[in-house]
Structure 1
Amino acid sequence: MTKTELRRVAVLGGVRTPFCRSHTAYAELSNLDLLTTALTGLAERFSLHGAHIDEVVGGAVVTHAKDWNLAREAVIGSPLAQTTPGITMMQACGTSLQGALGLAAKIAAGQIECGIAMGSDTTSDAPIVFQKKFAKRLVAASRAKSLGQRIGAFKGMSPGELAPVPPDTREPRTGLGMGEHCELMAKEWGISRQDQDLLAFESHKKAAAAYDEGFMDDLVIPCAGVFRDNNIREDISLEKMAELKPVFDKLGGTITAANSTPLTDGAASVLISSEEWADSKGFPVQAYLTLGRTSAVDYVDGEGLLMAPTVAVSELLQQAGLALQDFDYYEIHEAFAAQVLATLKAWESEGYCRNRLGRDAPLGPIDRARLNVKGSSIAIGHPFAATGARILAVLAKLLHNGDGKRGLISVCTAGGMGVAAILEGVGRSSSADAVIS
């Protein structure tokens, strides 16, 4: 199939639950509860009760063993037709954006007509597991055929075996957490505490304004009596932020609770389709998902863990024949303010772009007034697998409502990976450039 034969992929819109700090409003909810709520909200927004969707793809990062079939179980609990398949996947913070890119490739190739990408996470319901030795005793007891054998399984057990193993999000290859890795990036790129605090401050102000102006009205659905993200601080001040102590490097660090994303619970979903399917349902197209790219860096041997989006975006621009400045909106996921600022600085670095990205010249600066114009993860929150779908829905609506013609998405993920995508406004894209890779 040649490039010109591929179909355009329409983004029709998305919805999400409010995002809430962990152990607050959603403390009693599971990943499945949140994912089903987001999927049901999308079905209600688009009147999809009883409708068959070709594929629903999504998942969560922090899961229990019982969560192995999350996407299908969420479908079963939603108003969608029970014939709708649910496919569970996980790519850390890139999960729902990567899910959308996979669906888009199938739509572009004519394999399916419509799909839903989604993601959910709750660290309030993180799995607590036992020490391996005690777990083996439990398995042995469950297999025992007599009371004596069950009692015998615990013979010689020490109290220390009962100590639970807490959830751990450290990188298995380095033993460092994401925040510790980002501290290394902040030092390497000379990212100041003041610049990080300012970016975080602006994220809160923009997110609060987005609610006040009604932008979030059709994007956020109620969940468990919550109607608004509970991490946004309308009254945030740079002075109070400056008083906080570093979290990951207490002596010489710059990353604090205020310029990082909080641990967050929530879920998001987004509907994409072919133009023909959208027309048949009477759904207006908000934007077209035209290109996507997933890249990785060798963070084990010294590259920044969260620097892969610089590579993904560079490769994406080369494929699209675009410059970094050819965008009206930039949605760069705010895992940490330092990550965003390191990414921007790398794109302006002649040495980095030449040596790491293989370019003759730097990608250059962006217009910061176009960056995360409705706030992003520092203010709104970051339920890991849900963030990509949240960003995709926000950018599609921006392109649909405003004068912007093109938007860029960049999401960093654990494991040294980055996912990037380009959205085009309805009046901009053509079938010849609607390619998903």
Structure 2
Amino acid sequence: MTRFAGPVYVAAGLRTPFGRGGGPLSAYDAVSLSVPVVKAMAAQAEPDLLVWGTVIPNMGWSNIARETWLDAKLSPTVPAFSVVLACSTSMTATFAAAGMLGGGTELTMVGGSEVMSRPQIALTADASKRLTDLFARDPAAALGALQALTPRDYLLPTKGWANRITGRTMGDHMEETAKAWQVTREAQDDWALKSHQRAVAGWERGFFDDLVIPLPELARDANPRADTSPERLAALKPVFDRDSGKGSLTAGNSSPITDGAAGCWVATKAGLARLPTGTPYARLVDYEVSAVDFHTEGLLMAPAYGIPRLLARNRLSFADIGLWEIHEAFASQVLANVAAISDPEWVRTKAGVQAAMGDFNWDRVNPNGGSVAIGHPFGATGARDLSQAVKELWAMPPGSRAIVSICADGGQGTVALLERPWMGDQ
């Protein structure tokens, strides 16, 4: 299948090191942390368009893309707009940019950022209306009312980033899914260990050197742990289901609170020619955006619907995919989604796909680590995943394919099918 009128390419971009929550990057906000990435990428080539996003709301701006571009002191004639789709934000930016190529737009910079260390505390809608109405009538009385505010008037992040409808966090939901799919604590810890080991090895052999720009406060990812072990992971207590005795999600097998920004490129063939020689790139063959009813399905299970539909539409099976870059919100989320797509009956009855997918090859998943080890700044993860996958695919033979998959709060998910170009496409 060809989704686009002409070939669309995703090229590897740049990102900051990912910092631990409350760590050296916590003094930034989402705009200021985006600026060094956007400036470094713009030094490679000036894009025709910027598409950028962040997830945690901030009252200081409404269009982070334009604010970032202007704060970077770049050409004000380059348009910029923002997107939000929870953890899939910067992958969604990629899809949006791909659909806007042509008509003078040949090279687009996409990405996102998140400073999870600095969620903004806001007033409730009722408190905000009460104060704004009072300021219009009696500013002095409004100032007095400000001093009289109580904790009930604030939207406090007492449960982190809980789903608005259910009031429960993604970890709370994932505990239910892990139990439903019988994903064991041992399997989760084993995958978490692999993620850390692969990320550490990737840094040691220089894989990330041309993907990450050092900042004054941090030169490399802070979350990957070279000293982790099965014993250390097994010693950690559950952090979501603490009371039933059956909780399995821990700080060790879940993605950590993280600060970071990341970008990548979306281009036509003419746009690629404007990038530095040797920049890794891949063709964006097709993509899928999926959603589920999270009252009856797992909150983070949408990729299990999107992956088989995307493969079937392109007449592909698991054997045709040489690389899987799967976002690791939780180790259990990766394991549950793969368990689902590996079950032919589930794929037929739930995803509505009749084609046989074959056997899933775990050795092809996240060869340089994933979000459990590297970290998960919501708005940055999609661009980080895509750049990482493009570089990994670039080292494989022409024609090799990759699936990049991201789950998102709200019961949604995004999946991209990439292909290492043949010589005639380069």
State yes or no: 1:209 paired with 2:201. Answer: yes
What is the CA distance between 1:133 and its match in structure 2? 5.1
Q: Which runs of 5+ in 1 are unaligned?
A: 432-437
- Alignment-mate amino acid for residue 226 of structure 2: E
Instruction: Give the letter for the 2:318 counterpart.
Output: L
2:403 corresponds to which residue? 408
Percent identity over the alignment is 35
CA contact (8 A) 2:292 2:302 kept: yes
Contact 1:288 1:429 survives alignment (8 Å): no
Give deviations 1:71-97, integer Å, cap 9, x for gaps: 001111225422111111100010111
2:248 alignment partner in structure 1:
254
**Does structure 1 residue 393 correspond to structure 2 residue 387?**
yes
Unmatched runs of 5 consecutive residues or more in structure 2:
none
Question: What amino acid sits opposite 2:90 in the alignment?
Answer: S
1:297 is the counterpart of 2:292: yes
1:22 equivalent in alignment to 2:16: no
Q: 1:313 to 1:231 in 2, by over 3 A?
A: same
Report the TM-score when normalising by structure 2.
Answer: 0.92
Cα contact 2:121–2:154 (8 A) shared by 1: no
Rounded Cα–Cα distance in structure 1 between residues aligned with 2:4 and 2:120: 46
Cα shift at 1:225:
2.2
**Alignment counterpart, residue 311 of structure 1, candidates 274, 284, 305:** 305
Look up the equivalent residue of 2:353 and give its one-letter code.
Answer: R
In the TM superposition, residue 36 of structure 1 has moved relative to its aligned partner by 1.2
Aligned partner of 2:340 in structure 1 is 346
In structure 2, C-alpha distance between the alignment counterparts of 1:32 and 1:224, rounded to whole Å? 17
Contact 2:50 2:108 survives alignment (8 Å) = yes
- Residue in 2 aligned with 1:435? none
* Structure-2 residue corresponding to 1:90: 84
Q: How far, CA to CA, are the matches of 1:115 and 1:246 in structure 2?
A: 42
Which residue of the partner structure matches residue 318 of structure 2?
324
Pick from 406, 412, 418: which aligns with 1:417?
412
Alignment partners' CA distance in 1, 2:376 and 2:143: 45
- Give 1:9's aligned amino acid: V
Report if aligned partners of 1:330, 1:371 keep a CA contact under 8 Å in 2.
Answer: yes
Alpha-carbon distance between aligned partners in 2 of 1:239 and 1:192, rounded to the nearest angstrom: 16
Residue 226 of structure 2 corresponds to residue 234 of structure 1:
yes
**1:354–1:360 CA contact under 8 A, matched in 2:** yes
**Within 1, Cα distance between the matches of 2:8 and 2:56?**
30
CA contact (8 A) 1:25 1:224 kept: no
Say if 2:53 and 2:89, in contact at 8 Å, map to a contact too: yes
Range moving further from structure 2, 345-354 or 116-125: 345-354
Residues 1:355 and 1:150: Cα distance change in structure 2 (over 3 Å): closer
Q: 1:352 to 1:82 in 2, by over 3 A?
A: same
Displacement of 1:396 in angstroms is 0.9
RMSD across aligned positions (CA)? 2.4
- The one-letter code of the counterpart of 1:13 is A
Alignment partner of 1:220 is 2:212: yes
Q: What is the rounded CA distance, in whole Å, between the counterparts of 1:234 and 1:396 in structure 2? A: 25
**Contact 2:301–2:337 under 8 Å retained in 1:** yes
Distance 1:130 1:345, change over 3 A: same
Aligned mates of 1:286, 1:122 — CA distance in 2: 28
Aligned 1:138-153 pairs, distance under 5 A: 138-145=131-138, 147=140, 149-150=141-142, 153=145
Q: Matched residues in 2 for 1:225 and 1:312: separation?
A: 39
| TM-fit CA distance, 1:327 | 1.1
- The TM-score, its normalising length taken from structure 1, stands at 0.90
Q: Show the 5 A alignment for 1:24-423.
A: 24-44=23-43, 46=44, 48=45, 51=46, 53-78=47-72, 80-107=74-101, 112-132=105-125, 134-145=127-138, 147=140, 149-150=141-142, 153=145, 157=148, 159=150, 161=152, 165-166=156-157, 168-250=160-242, 251-279=245-273, 283-284=277-278, 286-300=281-295, 302-360=296-354, 363-403=357-397, 405-423=400-418
Q: Which 10-residue stretch deviates more, 269-278 or 398-407? A: 398-407
Number of aligned residue pairs: give it: 421
Q: For 1:212-263, what per-residue CA distance to the aligned partner results, in whole angstroms no more than 9, with x for missing partners?
A: 0001001011124211111110111000110111111112111111000001
Shift of the alpha carbon at 1:316? 0.8
Q: CA deviation at 1:172?
A: 2.1
The offset of 1:159, in angstroms, is 4.8
SS in 1 for 2:387: helix
SS in 2 for 1:265: strand
SS in 1 for 2:283: strand
Q: Deviations over 1:52-82 (max 9, x none)?
A: x221111101121113111001111225422
Cα distance in 2 between the residues matched to 1:218 and 1:151: 52
How far apart, in 2, do the equivalents of 1:163 and 1:119 lie?
A: 27
Q: CA-to-partner distance for each residue in 1:181-240, whole Å, 9 max, x for gaps?
A: 111111111101000000000000000000100010010111242111111101110001
**Kindly tell me: are residues 408 and 429 of structure 1, through their superposed partners in 2, closer, same or farther at Cα, counting changes over 3 Å?**
farther
Deviations 1:343-401 (A, max 9, x none): 11111213211210223365343211110000010000000111010011011111223
The verdict on how the C-alpha distance between 1:39 and 1:344 changes in structure 2, with shifts beyond 3 A counting, is same
Note closer, same or farther for the CA distance 1:297–1:59 as it changes in structure 2 (3 Å cut): same
The 3 A distance-change label for structure 1 pair 142 and 193 is same
Q: Is the contact between residue 2 and residue 286 of structure 2 (CA under 8 Å) also seen in structure 1?
A: no
